[in-house]
Amino acid sequence: MIRILDRARPDILTLRPYEHAAWEPSLERLHANEMPWRATEDATHAGLNRYPEPQPGELIQHLAELYGVEPRNVLAGRGSDEGIDLLVRAFCRAGTDSVVICPPTFGMYKVSARIQGADVIEVPLIKEQGYALDVERVLAAWNENVKLVFLCSPNNPTGNVLDRNAIESVCRELADKAIVVVDEAYIEFAGVDSIAPALQQFENLVVLRTLSKAYALAGARCGALIAHPQIVELLARVITPYALPVQTIEAVMTFTNSTHRADAAKRIKTILGERTRLMSELSRSRAIRHVWASDANFVLIECVDAQAVMQAAIGAGLIIRDLRSSPALPDCLRISVGTAEQNTRLLRAIDAIAATAGDAA
């Protein structure tokens, strides 16, 4: 057993997992209490009357190829949200263990930890250095009960990629001590390589990838957790038995084939062009105090009057993300890069308030 697994919950390590109906496609199924007929007009390939294959072999192979790893490194789940939840449940004892997060960051790390009854230690990113990772403080925050460190790169909502050497230092220093989860939900927009090949060096590294962003499949709910095979095996004991719906499996297989990958690449290129336009036009607006450089498909802005910008967006029929409830992000909003027409509509609405503010001044 790899040493980092000593950090998992002892009761999960010894858990006898649920024995789902055996996957034997060559035999006719009278072992899962399913209906032998499809529902009328069920046009799926596999048939919705049948439970799906748990961790479908073809899908796992496909995701492994997509992300440049081995199939045994991949656990497929319902979005990266499920990967986050599985990690917290498998590693953190309620009331005893904790996770480290680096705010401002994606909210689900904290929520999943709290649901599990795990404590959350916050080590803020360094704002003055473009929201860089504070390696020293992350390492100093470790104690015997810290099981997971969540790093998000590119980080949501600040948009920046974390320094690769900094992430690797955390992995190295916390080898055998904590799992380092690197959430790469937005990496396809960043023009940098995934850290996944570093799995060869770091048994405590877990990488999260998602089909929700670059592949336009948020509604399909599918993500890949990429890790050492023994971590994948452990989490496969915890995941619900038939986690991925038939439609999800079929949608991912179809919409990430070579034709669709080429389409995805074109869409990403368009988003990057629009991101540049949004960033430069927002930077010129008198209604915006600061625009952070983004490596993702969204832009973080600090407004002179965030309420006015929210209202202007709504008035233009658009909703943007209000981040003001986050203490680290006063007056901040996050804009997902939309179509050229949507971005133009938003920019015009913001221009209009800037003009009004100018009139009043």
Binding site for ligand PMP (CB under 6 A): 79-81, 106, 152, 156, 183, 185, 210, 212, 218, 223
Distance of CA 154 to the CA centre of its chain: 10
- Tell me how far, at minimum, the Cβ of 27 lies from ligand PMP, in Å: 34
Cβ closer to ligand PMP: 212 or 248?
212
Name the residue number minimizing CB distance to ligand PMP: 79
* Integer Cα distance of 332 and 290 in angstroms: 9
- Tell me how far, at minimum, the Cβ of 10 lies from ligand PMP, in Å: 28
The 3-class SS string of 134-182 reads CHHHHHHHCCCCEEEEEEECCCCCCCCCCCHHHHHHHHHHCCCCCEEEE
Burial 80-116 (b: 16+ CB within 10 A, else e): bbbbbbbbbbbbbbeeebbbbbbbbbbebbbebbeeb
Cβ closer to ligand PMP: 79 or 104?
79
- Tell me how far, at minimum, the Cβ of 209 lies from ligand PMP, in Å: 8
- Tell me how far, at minimum, the Cβ of 111 lies from ligand PMP, in Å: 11
Given the structure tokens 């952070």, which residue do they identify? 292
Cβ closer to ligand PMP: 208 or 349?
208
Tokens of 238: 């915890």
Cβ closer to ligand PMP: 202 or 215?
215
Cβ closer to ligand PMP: 73 or 112?
112
For residue 348, count other CB atoms closer than 10 A to its CB. Answer: 12
- Tell me how far, at minimum, the Cβ of 106 lies from ligand PMP, in Å: 4
Cβ closer to ligand PMP: 194 or 210?
210
Cβ closer to ligand PMP: 69 or 349?
69
- Tell me how far, at minimum, the Cβ of 217 lies from ligand PMP, in Å: 9
Cβ closer to ligand PMP: 55 or 156?
156
- Tell me how far, at minimum, the Cβ of 104 lies from ligand PMP, in Å: 12
- Tell me how far, at minimum, the Cβ of 247 lies from ligand PMP, in Å: 16
SS3 285: coil
Sign of the alpha-carbon dihedral angle for 132, 172, 10, 243: positive
355 Cβ neighbours under 8 A, 6+ residues apart: none
SS3 321: strand
CA distances from 37 to 46, 54, 84, 92, 243 (A): 12, 21, 36, 43, 22
